[in-house]
Amino acid sequence: MHLGKDSALIVRSREPFNGGPPLSRLAEQFLTPVPLFFVRNHGSVPVINPATYRLRVGGLVKTPLELSLEEIRALPQSTIVAALQCAGNRRSELMAVAPIHGEIPWGAEAAGNARWTGVALREILTAAGVHASAQHVAFTGQDEVERDGTRFGFGGSIPIHKALGSEVLLATEMNGDPLLPVHGFPVRAIVPGYIGARSVKWVGEITVQEEHSSNHFQAHAYKIFPPEVRAENADWTRGLMLGELPVNAVICNPHDGATVPADIADIMVRGYALTGGGRRVERVDLSVDRGASWHTADLSAEEPPWAWRLFSRRFSFSPGRQELIARAWDSAASTQPEDARTLWNFKGYMNNAWHRVRFEVAG
C-alpha cells in the first residue's frame, strides 16, 4: 500500500508502520504537511471500501444509528485546527534514564498540527439520543490488532462531557484533502487536547456506555505507573489512565548532536509548544546557561486552543559545546518539570520535562 508519506520520515517500524519527521522539518510550518505528519499504528492499515463503509452507533442511546460515508458527509460539517501528540512522544529521553522494553523509541517527532474537517461527534450523539446514565463514549476501529492470541480493533473512550464538546470530530479530511488510509480513512475520531490514542482511526463503532472502554488499549496499555513499578510486578488495575496532555515545548532547530559552523553561530532557535484540556500555551522560555537564566521566545499568533504554537528566538553562540533548554507555560500557569528522571515510568509515557538540546559550534 502506498502510504503517501515523505521519504524523509524517521521510520521506527515498518509493520505496523510507525514514523515521524526529522525535527528540523517539524517547526517549518504552522500546519504540518500530511506527508510529514507522524504515524502511530498498532496493526496493519485496513483496506476499507468507502461504498460499503458503515458507522454504527449504539449502547446507551434511544435510537441506534447506522450511517454510510455519504450520510456522514451530508451532516453539518465543522473544521478545527488541532495538534495531536502520541503519549510516547520523547520516550527516548526516558530510555536514557533507565531501560524501557518493548516500546517505540520516539524522539520528539510524534506530534503534529493539522486542520481537520468532519462532523462534530455531538451532532451524531444528539441524533441518537443519549440516556442520562451515559458516562463515556467508546470508539472501536476497523483495523485488526492481536494481543494474547486475541484479534480486535484498536479502541478507547472519552468522558461524555468531552464527547459533547464542539471540538471533538469524526473527521473525513485532513488539511483540506480526504484522509489517507494511514491516517484513518474513511473516518477517524479527533479528540483535541487528549493523547493521540483517543483519536481512534478507521472508526466503525461508537458505543455510549457507563464505564470506560474495556479495550486493551484503554484498560491496559495506555496507563502510567510510579517509577518503582515494573511490568513484571505491575497491578494493571491501579495504573492511571491517560487522558489530557500536559504542557510541553520542544526545540526543533538546532537539533541534538548538531555541529554548527562558527560563521553561522548566530542561530534562530525554533520549536513547537502544546498543551491539553483546552488551555493555551502562553509563554516559552529558553535558557543557554543550563537554567541559570531564561529568555522569553517569540510565539506565533494567538491560535485556537487546540492548536500548537510555534516559538523562535535568535541567539549568538561562541565556539564549543552548547546546550539549549526550553520550557513552556500554559494559561493555567502550569509549566514543565526540570528533570526527566522524576517522570520515568516503564511504559515511557508523558515525558514533558525541560527539553534539552546539546550541539557543537565549530571553532
pLDDT beyond 70 at 2 = no
pLDDT (0 to 100) of residue 265: 65
Provide mean pLDDT across the span 265-281.
Answer: 93
What CATH number labels 10-241?
3.90.420.10
pLDDT (0 to 100) of residue 325: 98
pLDDT in tens, 144-187: 999 988 999 999 999 999 999 999 999 999 999 999 999 999 99
* Portion of the chain with pLDDT greater than 90, in percent: 93
Mean pLDDT of the chain: 96
pLDDT beyond 90 at 304 = no
Q: How far apart are CA 310 and CA 80, in angstroms?
A: 17
pLDDT beyond 90 at 134 = yes
Q: How far apart are CA 258 and CA 261, in angstroms?
A: 10
Q: Which of 147-151, 231-235, 306-310 has the highest mean pLDDT?
A: 306-310
pTM of the predicted protein model: 0.96
Q: How far is CA 49 from CA 17, 44, 142, 181, in A?
A: 21, 16, 12, 11
C-beta neighbour count of 358 within 10 angstroms: 12
H runs (alpha helix) in 65-143: 69-74, 91-95, 121-128
pLDDT beyond 90 at 266 = no
pLDDT in tens, 204-221: 999 999 999 999 999 999
Question: pLDDT grade, residue 201 (50/70/90)?
Answer: very high
Q: Which residue matches cell numbers 483496506?
A: 47
CB of 119 closer than 8 Å to CB of 169: yes
Domain 248-361's class?
Answer: mainly beta
Each domain of the chain, given as residue ranges in start order, spans 10-241, 248-361
H runs (alpha helix) in 207-336: 216
C-beta neighbour count of 214 within 10 angstroms: 12
Question: pLDDT grade, residue 264 (50/70/90)?
Answer: low
Distance, C-alpha 327 to centroid of its chain: 18
Question: pLDDT grade, residue 261 (50/70/90)?
Answer: confident
Provide mean pLDDT across the span 333-353.
Answer: 97
pLDDT beyond 70 at 1 = no
pLDDT (0 to 100) of residue 303: 77
Provide mean pLDDT across the span 23-40.
Answer: 96
pLDDT (0 to 100) of residue 322: 95
C-beta neighbour count of 148 within 10 angstroms: 6
- Angle value at C-alpha 250, between 44 and 166, nearest 5 degrees: 65
pLDDT beyond 90 at 118 = yes
Q: How far apart are CA 70 and CA 50, in angstroms?
A: 9
- Cell numbers of 252, please? 526543533
**At 282, phi and psi to the nearest 5?**
-105, -25
Burial 223-242 (b: 16+ CB within 10 A, else e): bbbeeebeeeebeeeebeeb
Q: How far apart are CA 126 and CA 62, in angstroms?
A: 10
Question: pLDDT grade, residue 203 (50/70/90)?
Answer: very high
Q: How far is CA 33 from CA 102, 119, 241, in A?
A: 29, 22, 31
pLDDT in tens, 322-332: 999 999 999 99
Determine the 3-state secondary structure of 25 from DSSP. Answer: helix
